[in-house]
């Protein structure tokens, strides 16, 4: 099944078209914006733009390269998304394991283009960086260049193997092969490692108008009437959120809201919330909840800085919180997110995080 049509972001697409036509498209592009607004789909559209063989308006969507991107079969398109940490001990076996896991996810997305967010325990590891390095060293198969789309780049695990994963990817981005285009996606650029963020040129994709969300849901999910209106209202400009409402991502948002309420309610409430957290068997849900906490705090920080968004984090009492406080809070969440990848009890980690957030917020 081919990819569904890209929705919205017309101004950003025009900018990309002009930059491509003038030979000014940054070689390492970072797409940022709220969860579910189409950052990965935009990256695939940029791949079409670069591969398209048509004259005039591009991408045409009809030539063979455009069609192969839509079918996820273009040999020079490398879409790399978070996967489960490899279990093999041998480095070569780890690379094979990660490459196979990525191929399996691609196969699933061919069958079901309306995919869900990656599991909270999945990430980008040293083996992922090695997969990218090896593919970047290859000669393009069908054209003049290769396109690498690194989804959710903020999930790079920096502490693995003494930061070898981060350093391996950083070296590749510092000196990318001339025939390669890199596109990274992340909800918030501040959740990327600073050394990697500094090598990218950001392009922010905002929330979609309700009319565009409504049109997509009506056409591809078959919603109508009151059910459609309710889903559009709850989506808050995010098609991805609209698709996953009532499923795992909504569950993570509810858990994040509960944590933030406990943070502001006092030490007893924080301890009670930490004790309710599932232990090791629930670690995937735990990391998904941390991602949702970071999203809510990032929205609050943007609002506090006058950049739009909600006036405060709605799960917490309104207060004179500065953008700096939100940045500090995001840093505490990022450290907890990294620690969650290791052999750490989520209950103890959450108790520490809740106290940290209470301190800075």
Superfamily of domain 10-204: P-loop containing nucleotide triphosphate hydrolases (3.40.50.300)
Nearest by Cα to 347 from 261, 289, 265: 289
- Model confidence, pTM: 0.71
Please give the chain's pLDDT, 361 residues, in tens.
789 999 999 999 999 999 999 999 999 999 999 989 999 999 999 999 999 998 877 899 999 999 999 999 999 999 999 998 888 889 899 999 999 999 999 999 998 888 877 776 688 888 998 999 999 999 999 988 999 999 999 887 654 444 565 677 778 888 889 999 999 999 888 878 788 889 999 999 999 999 999 999 999 888 888 888 888 888 889 998 888 774 556 677 788 888 999 998 889 999 888 888 876 544 567 877 888 888 788 778 777 776 555 555 666 766 677 888 888 898 899 888 878 777 778 888 899 999 999 998 8
The answer to whether 12 touches 49, Cβ cutoff 8 Å, is: no
The tens digit of pLDDT for each residue in 220-237 reads 888 888 888 888 888 889
Residue 171's H or E segment, with its range, is helix 164-174
CA–CA dist 88, 99 (Å, integer): 13
Of 279, 202, 247, 245, the closest CA to residue 15 belongs to 202
HSE-CB for 206 with a 13 A CA cutoff: 10
Residue 222's region, left for phi above 0, alpha for psi from -120 to 50, else beta, is left
Nearest to 168 by CA among 98, 237, 88: 98
pLDDT (tens digit, 9 = 90+) per residue, 162-195? 456 567 777 888 888 999 999 999 988 887 878 8
Residue 245, both tokens: 């409402």
Extents of the domains making up the chain: 10-204, 250-360
């Amino acid at each position: 099944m081919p990819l569904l049509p890209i929705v919205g972001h017309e101004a950003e697409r025009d900018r990309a078209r002009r930059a491509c036509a003038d030979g000014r498209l940054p070689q390492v592009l970072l797409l940022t914006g709220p969860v579910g607004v189409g950052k990965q789909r935009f990256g695939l559209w940029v791949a079409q733009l670069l591969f398209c063989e048509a004259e005039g308006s591009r991408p045409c969507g009809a030539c063979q390269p455009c069609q192969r991107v839509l079918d996820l079969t273009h040999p020079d398109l490398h879409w790399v998304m978070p996967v489960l940490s490899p279990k093999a001990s041998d480095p070569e076996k780890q690379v094979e394991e990660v490459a196979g896991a990525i191929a399996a996810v691609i196969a699933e997305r061919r069958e079901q283009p309306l995919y869900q967010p990656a599991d909270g325990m999945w990430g980008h590891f040293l083996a992922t960086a090695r997969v990218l390095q090896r593919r970047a060293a290859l000669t393009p198969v069908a054209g003049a260049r290769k396109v690498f789309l690194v989804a959710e780049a903020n999930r790079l695990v920096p502490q693995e193997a003494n930061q070898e994963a981060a350093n391996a990817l950083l070296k590749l981005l510092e000196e990318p092969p001339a025939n390669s285009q890199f596109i990274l996606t992340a909800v918030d650029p501040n959740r990327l490692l600073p050394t990697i963020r500094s090598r990218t040129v950001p392009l922010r994709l905002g929330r979609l108008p309700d009319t565009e969300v409504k049109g997509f849901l009506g056409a591809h999910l078959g919603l109508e009437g009151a059910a459609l209106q309710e889903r559009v209202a709850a989506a808050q400009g995010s098609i991805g959120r609209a698709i996953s409402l009532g499923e795992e991502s909504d569950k993570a948002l509810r858990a994040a809201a509960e944590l933030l309420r406990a943070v502001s309610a006092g030490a007893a409430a924080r301890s009670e919330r930490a004790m309710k957290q599932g232990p090791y068997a629930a670690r995937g849900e735990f990391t998904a909840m941390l991602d949702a906490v970071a999203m809510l705090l990032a929205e609050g920080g943007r609002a506090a800085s006058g950049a739009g968004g909600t006036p405060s984090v709605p799960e917490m009492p309104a207060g004179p919180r500065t953008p700096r406080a939100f940045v500090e809070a995001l840093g505490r969440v990022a450290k907890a997110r990294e620690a969650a990848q290791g052999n750490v009890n989520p209950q103890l980690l959450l108790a520490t995080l809740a106290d940290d957030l209470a301190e800075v917020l």
